[in-house]
């Protein structure tokens, strides 16, 4: 596996901030700086395996930060529209946890990282047909099939309404992206059939793939991602609309899985360097959540080999450092006793 590499933040002081987001002026300055520092990066490639995604403008780059108090900040192309893709997996998982409960979903879908790419068939085979987690395609398709509904059409409507509640406004389907992926997603169909062969699909596998493909084609922008993430940071209440979307317990479950598997096989490195639960998608979006504080939404279409936005990762790394968002960082309360073991 290729390492995540230098994130360009090693020289940036690590601010530790255990309460809320820093003050408004500080966040504004820092988000502008995150954009300015990373916009020059032009390595990585725009995804092409879904033909419609190949047309994305690689120059686009937007960042949005939304606090649990509803305050929001944006820089660059934060209102550029793109299909949500894999980021939908985290939020559909939340809807399923909310309706089916912690244990049922944990048993059926799992919570461990596969260590393999998001569309790996081998990951399913190596684990006796278990999908492993809801952030890889196999687990996400199985999760979508678990949304309680009388039909595939109703399942899709529940998902669309649920993700819209996370975003705080009705999300629309990008029909071109949907048709483009539906015509080329034989691999996802194969994954669903493979799960079926192991008795791990609750619904018709091809119908589940179709609903999954639709959920991936919902249109968002970086600001929407930040609001959706901030809803998870806010214990399930959308900080803009004040609607309760899911419970606090569900947010905790979703954030834990985002931490372990949200950045695919790079999740360990991501957590080590950035210290935030996050989810990325192949159209170039990333949402990173600071529990209790807020969330960052970033969009830039050039991806590294794992399928994560190159600029987005580095911008979030910078924000995590400078806004004091890393969940694992804490200041000591002061000590008068010298280290006893050296
Ligand atoms: N719809 C895409 C797929 O199933 C989502 C993948 C992704 O964003 N990583 O391949």
For residues 71 and 183, membership in a common domain is answered with: no
For residues 176 and 244, membership in a common domain is answered with: no
Task: Please say if the pLDDT value at position 160 is more than 90.
Answer: yes
Domain end among 216, 243, 270: 216
For residues 109 and 177, membership in a common domain is answered with: yes
Specify the higher pLDDT residue, 13 or 212. Answer: 212
The answer for residues whose C-beta is within 8 angstroms of residue 126's C-beta and 6 or more apart is none
Evaluate: CB of 217 within 6 angstroms of ligand 1: no
Considering the domain boundaries, does residue 106 fall inside one? yes
Considering the domain boundaries, does residue 231 fall inside one? yes
Considering the domain boundaries, does residue 11 fall inside one? no
Q: How many domains does the chain have?
A: 2
- 197/187 Cα distance (integer angstroms): 15
Ligand 1 atom index nearest CA of 87: 8
Q: Are 266 and 286 in contact (CB under 8 A)?
A: no
Q: What percent of the chain has pLDDT over 70?
A: 98
- The number of residues making up the chain comes to 342
For residues 167 and 48, membership in a common domain is answered with: no
Considering the domain boundaries, does residue 180 fall inside one? yes
Considering the domain boundaries, does residue 252 fall inside one? yes
Domain end among 183, 216, 249: 216
Total Cβ atoms within 10 A of residue 106: 14
Query: DSSP of 143-164, one letter per residue?
Result: HHHTS--SSHHHHHHHHHHHHH
Strand-pair partners of 285:
299
For residues 149 and 231, membership in a common domain is answered with: no
Domain that holds residue 288: 24-85+219-323
For residues 225 and 245, membership in a common domain is answered with: yes
Q: How many angstroms separate the alpha carbon of residue 191 from the centre of ligand 1?
A: 13
User: In which band, very low, low, confident or very high, does the pLDDT at 1 lie, cut at 50, 70 and 90?
Assistant: very low
Considering the domain boundaries, does residue 159 fall inside one? yes
For residues 141 and 101, membership in a common domain is answered with: yes
Considering the domain boundaries, does residue 166 fall inside one? yes
Q: What is the pLDDT of residue 310?
A: 97
Q: Whose CA is nearest to atom 4 of ligand 1?
A: 137
Q: What is the pLDDT of residue 6?
A: 79
Evaluate: CB of 144 within 6 angstroms of ligand 1: no
For residues 270 and 185, membership in a common domain is answered with: no
What mean pLDDT is predicted for residues 69-91? 97
- 302/284 Cα distance (integer angstroms): 6
For residues 211 and 223, membership in a common domain is answered with: no
pLDDT digits 0-9 by tens, 16-39? 666 788 888 889 999 999 999 999
Considering the domain boundaries, does residue 339 fall inside one? no
For residues 259 and 159, membership in a common domain is answered with: no
Q: What is the pLDDT of residue 124?
A: 92
What is the Cα 129 distance to its own chain's centre?
24
Strands (E), the chain: 45-46, 62-67, 72-76, 82-83, 219-220, 278-280, 285-290, 294-299, 302-303
Structure tokens at 254: 């979703």
Evaluate: CB of 303 within 6 angstroms of ligand 1: no
For residues 100 and 212, membership in a common domain is answered with: yes
Q: Are 234 and 242 in contact (CB under 8 A)?
A: no
Q: What is the pLDDT of residue 330?
A: 82
Q: How many angstroms separate the alpha carbon of residue 233 from the centre of ligand 1?
A: 24
Q: Is 33 in a helix, a strand, or coil?
A: helix
- 26/299 Cα distance (integer angstroms): 22
Q: What is the CATH number of the domain that holds 194?
A: 3.40.710.10
Domain end among 195, 216, 237: 216
b/e per residue 53-69 (b: at least 16 CB within 10 A): beebebebbbbbbbbbe
pLDDT digits 0-9 by tens, 245-265? 999 999 999 999 999 999 988
Q: How many angstroms separate the alpha carbon of residue 86 from the centre of ligand 1?
A: 5
Task: Please say if the pLDDT value at position 7 is more than 70.
Answer: yes
Helix (H) or strand (E) holding 257: helix 248-261
* Total-model pTM: 0.94
Structure tokens at 212: 């999954």
Structure tokens at 27: 């966040």
For residues 212 and 113, membership in a common domain is answered with: yes
Q: How many angstroms separate the alpha carbon of residue 135 from the centre of ligand 1?
A: 10
């Amino acid at each position: 596996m290729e390492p995540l590499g230098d994130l360009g933040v090693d020289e940036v002081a690590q601010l530790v901030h255990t309460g809320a987001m820093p003050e408004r002026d500080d966040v504004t300055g820092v988000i502008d700086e995150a954009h300015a520092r990373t916009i020059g990066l032009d390595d990585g490639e725009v995804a092409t395996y879904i033909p419609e995604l190949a047309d994305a403008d690689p120059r686009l780059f937007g960042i949005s930060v939304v606090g649990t108090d509803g305050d929001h900040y944006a820089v660059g192309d934060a209102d550029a529209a793109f299909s949500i893709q894999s980021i939908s997996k985290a939020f559909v998982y939340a809807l399923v946890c909310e309706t089916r409960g912690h244990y049922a979903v944990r048993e059926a879908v799992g919570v461990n990282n596969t260590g393999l790419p998001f569309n790996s068939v081998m990951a399913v085979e190596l684990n006796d047909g278990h999908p492993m987690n809801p952030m890889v395609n196999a687990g996400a398709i199985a999760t979508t099939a678990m949304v309680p509904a009388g039909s595939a059409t109703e399942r899709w409507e529940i998902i669309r309404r649920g993700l819209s509640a996370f975003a705080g406004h009705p999300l629309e389907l990008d029909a071109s992206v949907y048709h483009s992926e539906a015509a080329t997603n034989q691999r996802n169909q194969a994954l669903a059939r493979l799960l079926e062969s192991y008795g791990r699909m609750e619904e018709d596998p091809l119908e589940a793939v179709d609903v999954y493909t639709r959920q991936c084609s919902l249109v968002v922008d970086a600001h929407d991602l930040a609001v959706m993430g901030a809803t998870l940071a806010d214990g399930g209440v959308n900080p803009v609309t004040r609607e309760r979307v899911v419970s606090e317990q569900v947010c905790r479950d979703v954030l834990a899985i985002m931490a372990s598997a949200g950045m695919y096989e790079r999740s360990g490195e991501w957590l080590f360097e950035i210290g935030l639960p996050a989810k990325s998608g192949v159209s170039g979006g990333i949402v990173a959540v600071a529990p209790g504080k807020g969330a960052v939404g970033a969009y830039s279409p050039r991806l590294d080999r794992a399928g994560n936005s190159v600029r987005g990762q580095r911008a979030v790394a910078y924000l995590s450092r400078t806004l004091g968002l890393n969940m694992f960082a804490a200041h000591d309360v002061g000590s008068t006793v010298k280290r006893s073991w050296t």
